[in-house]
Amino acid sequence: MLNPWRLSLLSRLDTLGTVRAVAKAANLSASSVSQQLAVLEAETRTRLLERTGRRVRLTPAGRMLARRAREILDHMDTVEAELRGLGEGPAGLVRLGAFQSAIHTIAVPAVNRLARSHPRLQIELLELEPHVSMPALRVGDADVIVTTTDFVEQPLGPDIDLVPLATDPIVLVVPPGHPAAGRGPADLAAYASEPWAFDVPQSYMANLATRLCREAGFEPRVIARFSNYMMTLQHVEAGLSIALLPGLAVDRRYRVTTRELATPVDRSITAAIRRGSAPRAAVDLVLEAIRSHPELPL
C-alpha cells in the first residue's frame, strides 16, 4: 500500500527540484528525505529516481507517480472533509495563501465572513508572496492562493485554474511635504537621485520596481529593503526614502502621499487552485468568499 507521506515527498521533489529543497520545506534532513524516497521505491518496486552527478531527478515513472500523488492526496483530503461534514455542511481545513497586501484587504475579511457563516470550516491563513505561493499550491501546502499572474518568474501551466479578482495600480509613495507630493502622474525619471526603499531581492515588487526604474533610465539607489510593507511605509513616512508599492499595500494609517505613474502599471490580482483536484465544497466556499469581496478594485 502506498504511503501518503512518502507520496507527498515525491510530489514535492517534482515541484521543488532538489532533495535539499524538499527537506527544507518538510522540515527534515536531506538524508531522511532520501531514505523515505528509497523506501517508496521499494514499496512500488519501481525505479523512481536516477542520479545525475551530485543530484537526483525523477525517472519517467517517478514523474508519473509524483503527479498522480497530488491527485491521490487531494482526494484523501476531500474524503476526510466529507466525513467530518456529513449532514452539517462544508467542514475541514482549507489552507489559504495570500501575498502581504492582500492579507488584510482580501483574505482576512473573507475569513471573518466564513467564520460567522460556516463555523465548522477551518481556514489556515498563510502569508505567501507570489514567488512562493505558486510552488506551495502545486505541492499541496496551500489549497487556494491569492497571487498575481504578472510574476513571470513563476510561469503558469495547465495544472492551475485561475479566477480573476481585480486590478491594482502600482503607485509612487513619498513622505508628506516631499517635493514629489504634488498632483498629477509621476514621471519616475525625475526621481533618479532619490533614496529608495525596496522589497527583498527576487520578490515580485523588488523585481518590478527595479525594472520600472531602469526603464525610466536610472539605477535606483536602494538604502533599505523590507519584507513588510508596513515597515516600508514607516520608512517613507519618516522622510528617509520613497517607494513603489501596490495600491492595496498603502495603509491609510500612515502619513504618506501616493501618486499614479505617468506610464500606468497595474498588477492583476488572481485566485488560483489546482486543476484536476477532487471537488471540495470547503475550497469552493473560500474561493467564493474571496471573489465576493465588496471592496476589490475591479
Mean pLDDT of 226-243: 94
Closest CA to 140 of 231, 294, 7, 1: 7
Residue 209's pLDDT band, with cuts at 50, 70 and 90, is very high
Distance CA 102, CA 100 (A): 5
Tell me the whole-structure pTM to 2 decimals.
0.66
What value, to the nearest 5°, has the Cα angle with vertex 134 and ends 132 and 135?
Answer: 70
What average pLDDT does the segment 250-266 reach? 92
73-96 pLDDT, tens per residue?
777 776 776 666 555 667 778 899
Does 170 have pLDDT greater than 60?
Answer: yes
Distance between CA atoms of 268 and 284, rounded to whole angstroms? 21
Please determine, for residue 297, whether its predicted confidence score (pLDDT) is greater than 80: no
Neighbour count for residue 42 (Cβ, 10 Å): 9
Residue-level pLDDT at 154: 53
Residues 205, 199 contacting (CB under 8 angstroms)? yes
